[in-house]
Amino acid sequence: MLYGIVAATSALLVAAVLSALGRAPALRLGVVDRRRQRRLPLFGGVAIVLATCLVTVAGDRVGVARLGGGVGRLLVAGAAVAALGLVADVRRVKMRVLVVGTGVAAACVVPYEETGVAGGVLAVAWVVFVALAFRALDHADALAGTVGVVTAFGVGACAAAEVMDGLAVLLSVLAAALTGFLMHNWHPARVGLGSCGSLFTGFLLASAAVFTRAGYGIASSAGVLFSLTAVASADVILVVLVRRLGGRPLSRRGPDHLAHRLRRSGLTPAGVTVLLGLGAFSGVLVGVLVHVGWIAGSGALWVGAGVLGVVGVLLRIPGSSPRGPASPQVTGQLRVRNG
């Protein structure tokens, strides 16, 4: 218990300090995104990766919180995915490179002895989907970080229920690091998550969730995994439907995400983050309760129905502002990562 408090506090402070220190180098190097006519430095993800890795490895080395081989491989694979994301932040990288790189990393950590080959392949696909979904979710200040914190606590609770102490420690440290980063990412954000941090966060959360559900049935696990990542999944579903219905290629970026639509409905940026954070909490709560057996597996169906209902409502909101041109986040000269 004492180590958990010390580890979480350390990760929070390290992430907060490194996020602040990373602003100037990112601006000098041009590693920035455009957010409402603001240049947003993107080294916040580097701070999260360093804080998470340093604190968890330190705990393992001193022997107070052993990660175990599987969790150690997961952290190494997550760091590799973060490195790929950092390359994407510094220079343009094609989506298929991110997909393949994340898929290879996922294939190296999936517990095939418990999932089987077919289940393992599905698990790899799910990890890639969630990692890229978190990258796409990083389209508004504090959104991906808030959803990541909520999801990390939920998956950590599932890991604790399975007596996976090393995994639970890793997720608590990740949640603390994201919280430290959010001190600088709340609207108006002073530092951004970037592909480095968003891919790392999504990869760790998805892979950890797969670990906790390994050995359970595929059908029941699908419901739990979807509930744990309901908001990120809803964002992808909305974007795919909007672009398909509009006759636009999926690769063409635009203000089609959850936050963009909610902002056009009149919500403030902070209000959007709070609302979607509550949505993430609702889905995560259902996923945890189903996992520990306190409610029936059919509870996940309500999460799915809620996601479809929200997507259906947001589809009715106009896709572009009638008052003027598209947001500078879309039309600006700087790189935009709303994939």
Mean pLDDT, the chain cut into blocks of 10 residues (339 residues total): 78 96 94 83 96 90 72 94 96 93 96 91 97 94 96 96 92 96 94 96 97 90 96 95 88 86 92 96 97 93 96 84 40 42
pLDDT for 148:
97
Bridge partners, residue 32, by sequence: 41
Token readout for 128 is 């890639």
Q: Where are the domains of the chain?
A: 2-331
240 vs 251: CA distance, rounded Å: 10
State the SS3 of the chain.
Answer: CHHHHHHHHHHHHHHHHHHHHCHHHHHHHCCEEEECCEEEECCHHHHHHHHHHHHHHHHHHCCCCCCCHHHHHHHHHHHHHHHHHHHHHHCCCCHHHHHHHHHHHHHCCCCHHHHHHHHHHHHHHHHHHHHHHHHHHCCCCCHHHHHHHHHHHHHHHHHHHCCCHHHHHHHHHHHHHHHHHHHHHCCCCCCCCHHHHHHHHHHHHHHHHHHHHCCCCHHHHHHHHHHHCHHHHHHHHHHHHHHHHCCCCCCCCCCCCHHHHHHHCCCCHHHHHHHHHHHHHHHHHHHHHHHCCCCCCCHHHHHHHHHHHHHHHHHCCCCCCCCCCCCHHHHCCCCCCCC
78 vs 278: CA distance, rounded Å: 27
pLDDT for 156:
96
152 in Cβ contact with 172 (< 8 Å): yes
pLDDT for 333:
37
pLDDT for 268:
94
- Residue 246's CB is within 10 A of a number of other CB atoms, namely 11
